[in-house]
Amino acid sequence: MELNDFENQAIPHEAGHLIAGLSKGFPIQGMSVIIHRDACGTVPGDFITNSREPSDEAILVTPPPVIASYKTMLGGGLAGNIVANVPAANAALQDDRRKLARVGDESLEEAAARAEPIIREHLEGFLKLVEAIGDRYLALKANQSLASGRYLLLTEQEVKALAGITVEPLFEPLA
């Protein structure tokens, strides 16, 4: 079983979020995917970096270092595509653009430019994450007995071990 174009661009995108976020102390709690099953087979849904993002109300009182790490984590998705040399469809970047606009006027491209050297510095971990996400996703996709739903691909501990990053989080995520 092979990955389609959407899956090929989504996997390094999420690995980029994971590396950039972890390296800046943004709490990452794992990685998930939504699978849709119908009579025609499996349709991939969203790939999701499990993290604690500031609510609209919390943005005003969130310390600047936390907002800065959040921006870098968001830019890590596009940076992951750049590092992997896998173009990201503009539609796939809209959620990151929307989230970034909530916390400032920096463009996604500016945030990605800041995240790209971080991913290159942790290239081995990035590549391990890309491989693990791809392998786990393909195994999940091949399991025809699974219903539509959200599935955990990597736990927080697995993400940290694969990434090889041990920076302490800037704040504790909500349970």
CA distance 173 to 98: 22
9-36 pLDDT, tens digit per residue, is 999 999 999 999 999 999 999 999 998 8
The pLDDT of residue 173: 54
d(C-alpha 60, C-alpha 32), whole Å: 29
Tell me, which fold does domain 5-160 have in CATH? Methane Monooxygenase Hydroxylase; Chain G, domain 1 (1.20.58)
Position 174 scores a pLDDT of 44
How far is 133 from 32, CA to CA, in rounded Å? Answer: 9
pLDDT in tens, 90-141: 877 999 999 999 999 999 999 999 999 999 999 999 999 999 999 999 998 8
> 175 pLDDT band (50/70/90 cuts)?
very low
Domain borders along the chain are: 5-160
More confident residue, 165 or 43: 165
**DSSP-derived 3-state class of residue 118:** helix
For tokens 């849709």, the residue is 36
Average pLDDT over residues 34-56: 83
Q: Where are the alpha helices (DSSP H) in 24-166?
A: 56-59, 64-84, 90-103, 108-121, 123-142, 156-163
pTM of the predicted protein model: 0.93
